[in-house]
Amino acid sequence: MIAAGVLRDGAAKLGLQLDDLQSERLLAYAALILKWNKVYNLTALRDSASVLTHHLLDSLAVVVPLARQWPGRATLLDVGAGAGLPGAVIAIMRADIAVECLDAVAKKAAFVQQVAGELQLPNLRGKHARVESLSGQYELISSRAFASLPDFFAGSSHLLADDGIWMAMKGRKPVDELAQVPASVEVFHVEQLDVPGLDAERCIVWARKQPA
């Protein structure tokens, strides 16, 4: 099991002071990932230390940058969310953001629904569909290593509100992908992240629609 103090220390290095409820929910979420992983292949990671660094802290690393880019209420679509990363973590940390975790695999969407129920998160939903077939409008659309940037932007463009922003989580700066982003998309910031305990490069690619 993950110790609460270790989680809080990692979060503090990311500029986050977790309250008791946030800490409890994050730890319960990690426990659910590990429990369900025994039956369903939600994630390749099987031990609590890896879930802490590669899932919880990696997802928590976007919370402060997101608050800078979008401090107020919003609807967020997390595309290819899998076990709910980063969407479920954002829902735990931001009660003012309504998060839908989208995945084409039914058992992964069902897991997110289970998380929402057990953790009493009314702002979290699991959604089973393909992004191309979805309708609606969202102020924020996120992904975590879901697809190449051009494919991510093209596949979800019809869902992004005109004043909305994309938040694509990547490893090292995707230079080749950035060069292939269509002219209809403005990448306005590539933000480097430093995830405690994770010996790997991480960044967020922030983008929006080019004004017509």
List C-alpha distances in Å: 60 to 22, 56, 57, 212: 11, 6, 5, 34
What Rg, from alpha-carbon coordinates, does the chain have?
16
Q: Report angle CA 57, 3, 60 to the nearest 5 degrees.
A: 15
Residue 151's pLDDT is 96
Which tokens belong to 13? 């290095």
Residue-level pLDDT at 20: 97
Q: Are 112 and 126 in contact (CB under 8 A)?
A: yes
pLDDT under 70: residue ranges of the chain: 44-45
Q: What is the C-alpha separation between 101 and 111, in angstroms, rounded? A: 10
Q: Which phi and psi (to 5°) does residue 100 adopt?
A: -115, 120
- pLDDT for 22 equals 98
CATH number of 4-209: 3.40.50.150
pLDDT the model gives residue 40: 77
The string of pLDDT tens digits covering residues 43-53 is: 766 778 888 89
Per-residue model confidence as pLDDT tens digits over 161-189:
999 999 999 999 999 999 999 999 999 99
pLDDT of residue 52: 87
Domain residue ranges in the chain: 4-209
Is residue 204 within 8 A of residue 69, CB to CB? The reply is no
What's the confidence (pLDDT) of residue 44?
Answer: 67
DSSP letter at 110 equals: H
Q: How far apart are CA 208 and CA 186, in angstroms?
A: 5
Q: What are phi and psi of 29, to 5 degrees?
A: -65, -45
80 contact partners, CB below 8 Å, separation of at least 6: 102, 103, 104, 131, 143, 144, 146, 147
